[in-house]
Amino acid sequence: TCHLAWLIFVFSVEMGFHHVCRVLRHEEFEEGCKAACNGPYDGKWSKTMVGFGPEDDHFVAELTYNYGIGDYKLGNDFMGITLASSQAVSNARKLEWPLTEVAEGVFETEAPGGYKFYLQNCSLPQSDPVLKVTLAVSDLHKSLNYWCDLLGMKIYEKDEEKQRALLGYADNQCKLELQGVKGAVDHAAAFGRIAFSCPQKELPDLEDLMKRENQKILTPLVSLDTPGKATVQVVILADPDGHEICFVGDEAFRELSKVDPQGSKLLDDAMAADKSDEWFAKHNKPKASG
Ligand SMILES: *[C@@H]1O[C@H](CO)[C@@H](O)[C@H](O)[C@H]1NC(C)=O
């Protein structure tokens, strides 16, 4: 079976996010990625994986920083990440980060860039404190056909009235929540990608299935190199609302995704060395909008 491994969003890396998670690894790239991992941008970029534990058994967020881009327009596609962590709630309080109580013991907050987080004020569970990721869909039934019948996810909860469903590949993994919205799903520029790791041998079958079903394939099965590290295979699909879904071959991914004890230092060094704000200021140019 597959495993919800990480989510790619075109976040900009800013201080603050890793008060709740830890940096698992950090990599710098000189040019855009073959599978558009950094969004539709050329040039220097970096990615930082943050999460509550190793990528093998935890949900991980991939923060993508494009050195030349200052901000990204938010759509309505990504509705938030829900964490169970009283530590996150108390950290946010201490840092005077704005919190709004939206249900008893549940606080809504915004990361830099505007992505929403829902923090449940309860102690860290044994498993991954990232409980679910919520995406907007325009037609819940159509989306359930796609995610369950084609991609094989199991329905954990379904509420027709509220137009929501909770899906997963396994009980102890972070869940995917689909929330029906009125009208179309707008990805704007700050869109990301949901990703799963899968046994590599299943990827060609998955690609064939999508071809047979006339579903959109954004990136046919391709090998991606990380200099000095394992080469991973990925295939990237789009669901009926255009949410990008990346399936990654598990074996190489496990090797590639090892926690780097230097990750946090590499990120700090890269942020200290990043003179892009000064460069744009000196040349009297604004950073581009995504
Ligand atoms: C979170 O829960 C703890 C323990 O139940 C409580 O003391 C604390 O006030 C709560 N925090 C907020 C911000 O409500």
Is residue 221 within 8 A of residue 233, CB to CB? The reply is yes
93 lines ligand 1 (CB under 6 A): yes
Between 227 and 69, the more confident residue is 69
- Model pTM score: 0.86
88 lines ligand 1 (CB under 6 A): no
121 Cα nearest atom in ligand 1: 1
Q: Closest Cα to atom 6, ligand 1: which residue?
A: 121
Q: What is the pLDDT of residues 246-257, one digit of tens each?
A: 888 887 777 777
250: its two tokens:
């598990």
Nearest to 218 by CA among 232, 237, 195, 191: 237
Distance 78 CA to ligand 1 centre (A): 28
121 lines ligand 1 (CB under 6 A): yes
Q: Which phi and psi angles does 118 have, rounded to 5°? A: -115, 115
Distance 105 CA to ligand 1 centre (A): 8
Report whether pLDDT(239) > 90: yes
219 lines ligand 1 (CB under 6 A): no
101 lines ligand 1 (CB under 6 A): no
Q: CA-to-CA distance for 149 and 108, rounded, in angstroms?
A: 32
- Quick one: pLDDT at residue 231? 85
- Quick one: pLDDT at residue 21? 67
Is residue 239 within 8 A of residue 143, CB to CB? The reply is yes
SS3 182: coil
86 Cα nearest atom in ligand 1: 1
Report whether pLDDT(119) > 60: yes
Ordered alpha helix ranges (H), 82-202:
86-94, 140-144
- Quick one: pLDDT at residue 43? 79
Q: What is the pLDDT of residues 158-203, one digit of tens each?
A: 999 999 999 998 888 889 999 999 999 999 887 888 888 888 899 9
